[in-house]
Structure 1
Amino acid sequence: MDKISLDKEMILDATEEIIRRFGPDKANITDVAKLLKVSHAAIYRYFDGKTALWNAVTERWLSHLHAPSNEILKEDSPADVKLSNLLESFVEAKHHSAINDPEMFANYIKLAQSSTEVIQKGIEEGINSIEGIIEQGITEGIFFTESPHQEARAVYLATSIFIHPNTFEDPDRKQNIKSVINLLIRGLKNSNR
């Protein structure tokens, strides 16, 4: 492949393919270079090393994973409905990925344990999305809080347990998610705090 036709997206696509083929523990830059029929040096022109490349792949994967959530933010619906939909979307996206794309989900878990930068960015984006909906709810007179950001962080933390693989096999998982979300929304609606 000539240098001109190689770009970051091609490298990211190839890296995802390699991770899916070999798993995150065995995949490496050599495999990516071989798949693209380029040298290691060609990859290093775009990424500073394996960590940078794997971070970029995970960041892109998370962005695709959360695309449906971004559509929910655009909905013209009351804040309580929108928040419920968003939280269910967050937890179900990871669950579906673990089932349908286990190698990339394993890569995400591995990265979460070793490099928090990409994961922290995703968490902050999630919290900011929740905060925006809470602020919408305050404007609509549905939610009552003086600290939307702190409430958004609490809501995120309360539901984040459901993205952990240990919860995926629980037969009551869906009901537990609904119960927690309903409890959180009732708390936000409580004007007697």
Structure 2
Amino acid sequence: MAPPTEALTPERILEATEEVLRRHGVAKATVVDVARALGVSHGTVYRHFRTKAALREAVTKRWLDRTTAVLADVTSGSEEPAAKLRHWLAALFDAKRHKAGDDPELFDTYTVLTNENSAAVDAHIGDLTGQLTAILQEGVERGVFEVGDLAATARAVFESTAHFHDPVYAPQWSRPDAPAAFDAVTSLVLRGLTPR
């Protein structure tokens, strides 16, 4: 139970919700369980998140935003664009692989939640393709990428590498040949962006 002197914040509620989801799974976790873990009434939780759906969407967004933040650091880095794009794709693959492998129960829970919260997922994909667009733009400006429509190309890069970040493929990420397959696809993508 949380110490009563600690202020109840949305972040504390989301942390508790994640722990409740880890223990009970998405089908059995309730707002009452979250409130109990925090030592408050469920009405108190509802003051921060008006519905169970809003709480589930917020915890899903928080989970997705962790990956977005890691990739934002790569996007703003000083690598040359081709190396930055390869690094960004590798960081995305690595982040997803760790989420699936380090805590498979929670990963399964979030897979269910992301299917429920398409708005959060769409925003996440928008953020990621926005980062790819920025990397591609930098590459065009430096003459190392040849791209017509930046946004469409960013989306194509994202979709062509889906095997290495879409949760539906998670069971294949731990295969011994996964890193070699990732390198082959990434090299193909980079060759396709190189001016002729």
Query: TM-score per shorter chain, which class?
Result: over 0.9
Tell me whether 1:35 sits opposite 2:40 in the alignment: no
Q: Which runs of 5+ in 2 are unaligned?
A: none
> C-alpha deviations, 1:44-103, integer Å up to 9, x for none?
111122221111112112222333212111211110000000011112111111111223
Letter in 2 for 1:24: V
TM-score, structure 2 length as denominator? 0.91
1:168 — aligned with what? 173
Residues 35 and 42 of structure 2 are in contact (CA less than 8 Å); yes or no, is this contact kept in structure 1? yes
Which segment is superposed worse, 47-56 or 79-88?
47-56
Task: Note the aligned Cα RMSD (angstroms).
Answer: 1.7
* Aligned counterparts of 2:51 and 2:163: Cα–Cα separation in 1: 32
1:156 — aligned with what? 158
Residues 20 and 104 of structure 1 are in contact (CA less than 8 Å); yes or no, is this contact kept in structure 2? yes
Structure 1 consecutive aligned stretches of length 4 or more whose deviation exceeds 6 Å: none
SS of corresponding position for 2:53: helix
Residues 73 and 86 of structure 1 are in contact (CA less than 8 Å); yes or no, is this contact kept in structure 2? yes
Matched pairs, number: 191
1:2 Cα deviation (Å)? 5.7
2:188 — aligned with what? 183
Tell me whether 1:78 sits opposite 2:80 in the alignment: yes
Which segment is superposed worse, 30-39 or 105-114?
105-114
* Aligned counterparts of 2:106 and 2:52: Cα–Cα separation in 1: 15
Q: Work out the percentage of aligned pairs sharing the same amino acid.
A: 34
* Aligned counterparts of 1:48 and 1:102: Cα–Cα separation in 2: 29
Q: Which runs of 5+ in 1 are unaligned?
A: none
